[in-house]
Amino acid sequence: MIYLILSITASLLIFVVFKLLEKFNVNTLQSIVVNYLVAFSCGMLINQKPVAIQSIFEAQWFLGSIVLGVMFIGIFNIMAWTAQKNGLSVASVASKMSVIIPVIFGIYLYEESIGFQKIIGIVLALISVYLVSAKSKTSVNFKKNLLLPVVLFFGSGIIDTSIKYLQNNYVPEDTISLFSASIFLIAAVVGIGILTVQFFRKEFQFDPKSILGGIALGIVNYASLFFIIKALNLPNTESSTLFTINNVAIVMVSTLIGLLIFKEQLSKKNWAGIGLALISIYLVTFA
């Protein structure tokens, strides 16, 4: 449970850092690229075994890390476009409701437990995500630019599912840090490629503040992935339970942080969602 709590805490700090980047008008893309380089460095520092480049290429998880690295930065951009075209509420709902994909995957492939209480908890979790994310002055209109939220939904779900699959089949306990670092390195390479294209198109303007923002983001971003994989590695841990609690807790607590720190307004619908989130976490945890 401690690893799950640490992963949730790190994910919440990602939310706080992004809000601060927005507040201080920091270039988000440049911060993200720096963040991936920092996250890669964290993985290499934490890794306790001597690293041979050839062994990374020969690792069973290497191809999976390439796919995940590309998806990490790709889905982030999809999330940004969804927020711009459909609204932040749609982006939040689509990305967090995608938890149903790894839940179904875990129950079907690994024969994880499923009972009435757990089903009710998962259903309440999905409802709570919708209620917490839907702001009173916005309407969650999935029909507008439908492709983006659909891609975001499946992309986010596939990322979580792939992490579970690789962790379960190909990532030994002593290579978690190296596996995580490889994912972030691939994402960094893709991000640098995007910035290079911007440079040659004369669309690039360096923002010094992105260095500090990227460092802060990279540390908590690495921690978020590292601890969720550590949590999945624990004996008798079911991914369907873990991902449900993880996603709902992040949505619920980040909303409360928005209220307490950033003075965001919550509607009755949002408060109802927070209440349902607490109930769903209890039901799924003790199912």
d(CA 147, CA 118): 31
Token look-up 């380089």 returns 37
112-137 burial string, b = 16+ CB within 10 Å, else e? bebeeebeebbebbbbbbbbbbbbee
What's the average model confidence in pLDDT over 76-96?
77
Token look-up 């050839």 returns 54
Lowest-pLDDT range, 121-125, 142-146, 175-179, 244-248? Answer: 142-146
Of 164, 18, 154, give the one whose Cα is nearest residue 97: 154
Decide if pLDDT at 141 tops 60: no
DSSP category for residue 110: S
d(CA 228, CA 41): 18
What does each C-alpha distance from 140 to 108, 146, 153, 191, 223 come to in angstroms?
A: 30, 12, 14, 30, 31
What does each C-alpha distance from 91 to 133, 151, 186 come to in angstroms?
A: 9, 11, 24
Instruction: Count how many domains the chain has.
Output: 1
d(CA 261, CA 264): 8
The model's pTM: 0.87
Q: Are 186 and 1 in contact (CB under 8 A)?
A: no
| Domain region containing 203 | 2-285
Digit-coded pLDDT (tens) for 152-183: 999 999 999 999 999 999 999 889 999 999 99
Stated as kind and residue range, the H or E segment containing 30 is: helix 28-46
pLDDT at 139: 55
Of 9, 36, 92, give the one whose Cα is nearest residue 215: 36
Residues of the chain with pLDDT > 90: what percent? 58
**Average confidence score pLDDT of the chain:** 89
Phi-psi map region of 244: left, alpha, beta (phi>0 left; psi -120 to 50 alpha)? alpha
